[in-house]
């Protein structure tokens, strides 16, 4: 049976609750991530998503100038914009179950925890990559 361990990104980059938003965005842009787990002394306490960042930076009801954007990037921390206590899976979780959870909750990713330690992250992109590669291998070149 296909498990989360077969598809996940192992040992993902992480941030701490005190990491400034500017640094979080830098990691996400540089590495091409849309989610970054937040660890406090090795314990998963949250996840910051690209949506969380957009909500902080681009409020449609608050007009502000560039200097205020700079202040947000410097003063806002991962802790103040993260989704706390995210739902997670284990490496042994069947892949189909993780896919159901991502779909049901409309998540782009879930942390993977083993013995209270973050060991990976499973994303919708991991599933798409797996199925696109296997489809090409099974049926030859695509469209």
| CATH number reported for the structural domain that contains residue 24 in this entry | 3.10.580.10
Cβ pair 96, 22 in contact under 8 A: no
Residue 26 makes CB contacts below 8 A (sequence gap 6+) with none
Find the domain containing 116 and state its range: 4-139
- Indicate the pTM of the whole model: 0.86
pLDDT tens, 52-93? 998 887 755 555 566 676 777 788 899 999 999 999 999 999
DSSP 13-40: --B-TT-BHHHHHHHHHHHT-SEEEEEE
pLDDT tens-digit readout, 24-35: 999 999 999 999
How many distinct structural domains can be found in the chain?
Answer: 1
């Amino acid at each position: 049976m296909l498990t989360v361990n077969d598809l996940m990104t192992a040992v993902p980059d992480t941030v701490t609750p005190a990491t400034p938003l500017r640094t979080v965005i830098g990691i996400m842009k540089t590495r091409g991530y849309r989610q970054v787990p937040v660890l406090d002394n090795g314990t998963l306490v949250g996840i910051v998503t690209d949506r969380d960042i957009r909500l902080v930076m681009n409020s449609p009801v608050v007009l502000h100038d560039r200097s205020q954007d700079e202040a947000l990037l410097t003063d806002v921390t991962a802790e103040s914009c993260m989704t706390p206590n995210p739902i997670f899976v284990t490496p042994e979780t069947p892949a189909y179950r993780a896919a159901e959870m991502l779909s049901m909750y409309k998540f782009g990713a879930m942390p993977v925890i083993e013995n209270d330690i973050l060991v990976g992250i499973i994303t919708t992109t991991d599933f798409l990559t797996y199925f696109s590669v296997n489809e090409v291998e099974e049926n030859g070149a695509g469209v």
